[in-house]
Every structure is written in C-alpha cells, then in structure tokens.
Chain A
Amino acid sequence: MEREDIKSIIESLLFVTDGPLTLQRLGEVVEGVEREEIRATLDELQAELETNRRGVRLVEVSGGYQLRTAKVNAEWVKKLLGGRPARMGRATLETLAIIAYRQPITRAEIEAIRGVDVDGVINTLLDRSLIRPVARKDVPGRPFLYGTTPEFLQLFNLKDLSHLPTLKEMEEITLPEIPGEELPLESVEER
C-alpha cells in the first residue's frame, strides 16, 4: 500500500469514530502496516491539516487520535449547532483542577484546600463523568478517593495526565525571623 492510500484509509477511520481512536486499534484495522508507519502517517496527516488551514484538525487526546474542528471556526460551529455549551463555574473548575493534580483524593482533602464545602460540586462532576471514585481510602469512614476520567482528558484536549500544564511550584516562603513585628511591605517581593 502506498503511503497516500494508508493516509486516506486512516482519515476515513478517524472520521467515523466517535471517541479517540487508539494507535493499537488503527493497527488492528489497517492490517499489514507497521505501527511506526501508521504513526508517521498520522503525523503527516496532522501536519497537512494544520498547514492547509483545514476546518478539521487531528489531535492526540485521551490516549488516541481524534478529528476536531479548528478552533478559529468555533463561532461558526456554535452558530450551526445552536444552544449554549454548559459553562463550567469557578467552583467546579477549581475543584476539578485540585482532583486532576492531586488524584486520588478524598472529598475532605479537597475541602481542606478550598476552604469550603464541595459536596454539590463533586456531584456535578460525577454527573458529568469528569471524575469517578477510584478507590476507598483506608482511614475511618473509608471515604471515596476520586480521580479524573477519559472524559476529563477529552474535555480539556489532553493527551494524558502527564500533559497537564505544570503546576507552579509553591514559592519559597520567606517569613520574617522575628514574629510580632510588622515588616516594611516593600521588602517582600510580590509573586
């Protein structure tokens, strides 16, 4: 098979698949083609769609490959589809971020970081399948430990959890040596 044939086949396969298509699954379908060649073909296809400023782009998301519309066309797609996408509130987003970076984590541990009750938010996230209980923590009450789902990766266009944006390092805390005395403000650097 010529490279262009393989590319054409792969594009068709990607088009009909609902979720992200894994390299392994592609390999099973496109028999007799080396895994490496499929990967190279995917890279080519991705670059082509990009350079030709096509309306669909090939992205690596949640462990697979998926065709998605180009971000520049969002406005038009939204106009066609109508309706408003469910906006994610600040509380939901912050809680989701805590779970994403600290998973597996319990409800109480999340509350300790946010300083507020997170019951409602957790339920929203569970309903939207963005998090799931992954285990129970071996402490009294055996609370659920929560982790993120493949839907979370898909929502935020992430290849896998290692591709989460790096969490800013906690800045070095330089506290005054002698407590009880107000230090001049200008001596302390702002973040």
Chain B
Amino acid sequence: MTTRVQLEIFEGPLDLLLHLIKKNEVSITDIPIAAITEQYLATVEVMESFNLDVAGEFLVMAATLIHIKSRMLLPLTDNEEGEEEGTDPRAELVQRLLEYQRFKDAADQLERREVLARDVFVRSAAPTEEIPPSGFRQVSVFDLLSALKRVIDRLPKDDAHEVTLDKITVREKMTLLLSSLRAGGRMLFEALFSDVKTRMEVVVTFLAMLELVKIRAIRIFQAESSAPIEIEAAAGIDEAPAAIALQDAEEDQHGT
C-alpha cells in the first residue's frame, strides 16, 4: 500500500506540523506523536524526492519529533535527570506550535483589513510602482541632485575652469569612501564633500557614492523628507573591496 502525501508549500516545519494536526483533526495540546511523526517524515521524504530544497530546519524538527516519540514510550521515573517531574515530553513543542498559530491568525487578520492599493486607494496611489530601493526611507534622485547642486554652488567660483592634473579616479574615491565608512559607520552626505575643491572632484565623489550604492556597500537614507541625507555602511560593505578589484580587473581586460 502506498501512502499518498499531498504536497503543499510549507513555510517551515511548524507550518507543516500544524497542517498535519489540522488534517488529522487532533488537538495541538494532545498530539498523537507517533502518527504525526510518521506523516511528518513521509512528507519530508516526498519533498526530498522532488528534489525540493529541504531546509535544515525540517530535519531538526524530524529529530525533535523522534526524540519526543521515544521519550513518550519510556515510563518516566520521578527523578529522571534534568527533567521536571511529570512534564509531558510534548510540552515545549506544543508551546511553540501555539505561539506560531497565534501569529498565523494575526497574519490572517491583517490580510482581512482594508489593504492599501488592494482594497482602498489614495489619490496618488500607484500600485504598480517599483518597490523602492533598500534604505530606511527612499531618497529620490531629485533629493540627491539638489543636494549635489548645493555642494557645487558652495565651491569657490574661481576654480570653476581650473584644470586639475592630479585627478582622482572614481575607483580610488570608492576605496577612500569605504575606509571612512567601515561597518556600522554613518556620515552626512554633505560631509563627503567637505574637503573637495573642484567641480570635477565633486562629480567623481558623487559617482563613487552611486557605485557603492549599486554594489550595496552603502545605502542612502533620510529620516524624513526634509532631513539631511545620510550615508551608511550596508550589508555588502565587507565584499566591496573585492567587488571593486573585480571591476578594475574587468576594465583592464577591455584596455581602459
């Protein structure tokens, strides 16, 4: 006799367990552990046979279930080491399941609300709009450009046409920015340009900053729309030097 297991998409081992509990019409607080463990393992096996990426969490739970099952078979002595007297081996799992179930219910409730851009709309609603790039609050290109303009406007006028020979490259500037923004670091956008004297250097610094955003080494954000623009080290900052080196190597190959 073959067991047919209907495969659904489970968020995780707890989700799969809740599904099995519901399917078997049993109570969370009194799980028939042997039967549920068997079905759980069967499902994980099916997932594996479909070459689904069975996350390690599923296997950890499988081990937990087997452990509970074995403990339930043993008659407990009063002074089993480390265990409280009369504790149901399932208790901890039950707690976790109940806790998780609560948040599943909470998620359902949220989904039933009047969701913006699905059920209700505001005047400027644009539901097809791209998801804003990473950042605490999106800084628009216009915000950046007007901040850049303020920097350029502050440059001494006489230098506007001066040709600087010892120019700094975007790559070099990227490396400089990285070293001043080591993990956890944060600085004001304007501070980037504090010792910049020429328009060319402003542009190079600005491009270096954009490159770093592109490789996710830094992110640009504002606390609110009128607040100063800030720059912060992002998740990719540790990989950034390697990324820059790679870009350099590629450009060398193309003879630039």
Give the residues in chain B near A18, CB-CB below 8 Å: 122-124
Could you tell me if B134 and A157 are in contact, using CB atoms closer than 8 angstroms? Answer: no
Q: Is there a chain A Cβ closer than 8 Å to B102's Cβ? A: yes
* A175 in contact with B128 given A97-B107, A114-B100, A168-B105 (CB within 8 Å): no
Give the residues in chain A near B91, CB-CB below 8 Å: 173, 175
* A175 in contact with B94 given A81-B128, A126-B134 (CB within 8 Å): yes
Partner of A171, one of B98, B113, B124: B98
Partner of A127, one of B74, B86, B124, B134: B134
Q: Is there a chain B Cβ closer than 8 Å to A108's Cβ? A: no
Residue from A74, A98, A114, A154 with most neighbouring chain B CB atoms (10 Å): A114
* A167 in contact with B11 given A128-B132, A185-B30 (CB within 8 Å): no
Could you tell me if A179 and B72 are in contact, using CB atoms closer than 8 angstroms? Answer: yes
Give the residues in chain B near A173, CB-CB below 8 Å: 29, 91, 94-95, 98
Could you tell me if A165 and B103 are in contact, using CB atoms closer than 8 angstroms? Answer: no
CA distance A83 to B109 in the complex (A): 25
* A91 in contact with B110 given A127-B133, A188-B29 (CB within 8 Å): no
**Number of residue pairs spanning A and B whose beta carbons lie under 8 angstroms apart:** 181
Could you tell me if B127 and A101 are in contact, using CB atoms closer than 8 angstroms? Answer: no
Could you tell me if A81 and B121 are in contact, using CB atoms closer than 8 angstroms? Answer: yes
Could you tell me if A77 and B116 are in contact, using CB atoms closer than 8 angstroms? Answer: no
Q: Is there a chain A Cβ closer than 8 Å to B49's Cβ? A: no
Could you tell me if A179 and B137 are in contact, using CB atoms closer than 8 angstroms? Answer: no
Stretch of A22-30, A32-40, A115-123 on the interface side: A115-123
Give the residues in chain B near A48, CB-CB below 8 Å: none
Q: Is there a chain A Cβ closer than 8 Å to B176's Cβ? A: no
Q: Is there a chain B Cβ closer than 8 Å to A54's Cβ? A: no
CA distance A188 to B28 in the complex (A): 9
CA distance A158 to B114 in the complex (A): 9
Q: Which of B89-122 touch A at CB < 8 Å? A: 89-91, 94-96, 98-107, 109-111, 113-122
Could you tell me if B30 and A176 are in contact, using CB atoms closer than 8 angstroms? Answer: yes
Task: Specify the chain A residue showing the minimal Cβ separation from B122.
Answer: A68
CA distance A175 to B181 in the complex (A): 54
Q: Is there a chain B Cβ closer than 8 Å to A178's Cβ? A: yes
How large, as a class, is the contact surface on chain B? 35 or more
Task: Specify the chain B residue showing the minimal Cβ separation from A66.
Answer: B122
Could you tell me if A127 and B132 are in contact, using CB atoms closer than 8 angstroms? Answer: yes
Could you tell me if A191 and B28 are in contact, using CB atoms closer than 8 angstroms? Answer: yes
Interchain nearest-CB distance for B215 vs A (Å): 16
CA distance A112 to B38 in the complex (A): 24
Task: Specify the chain A residue showing the minimal Cβ separation from B33.
Answer: A182
Partner of A179, one of B61, B87, B111, B124: B87
Could you tell me if A96 and B110 are in contact, using CB atoms closer than 8 angstroms? Answer: yes
Give the residues in chain A near B119, CB-CB below 8 Å: 71, 74
Task: Specify the chain A residue showing the minimal Cβ separation from B112.
Answer: A165
Partner of B115, one of A156, A171, A175, A177: A156
Task: Specify the chain A residue showing the minimal Cβ separation from B16.
Answer: A115
Chain A to chain B contacts (Cβ below 8 Å), 21 pairs: A57-B120, A68-B114, A68-B120, A71-B119, A83-B127, A116-B57, A117-B55, A126-B136, A132-B136, A155-B115, A156-B116, A171-B29, A173-B29, A175-B88, A175-B90, A179-B88, A180-B74, A180-B75, A185-B27, A185-B30, A189-B27
Interface residues of A (CB under 8 A from B): 15, 18, 57, 59, 66-71, 74, 77-78, 81-86, 88, 90-91, 93-94, 96-98, 100-101, 113-117, 123, 126-129, 132-133, 154-158, 165, 167-168, 170-171, 173-180, 182-183, 185, 187-191
Q: A115-B14, A180-B73 are in contact. List 20 more A-B contacts (CB 8 A).
A: A74-B119, A81-B127, A84-B127, A97-B107, A113-B100, A114-B14, A115-B61, A116-B12, A116-B57, A123-B134, A126-B136, A128-B132, A133-B136, A156-B115, A173-B29, A173-B95, A175-B30, A175-B91, A176-B88, A179-B72
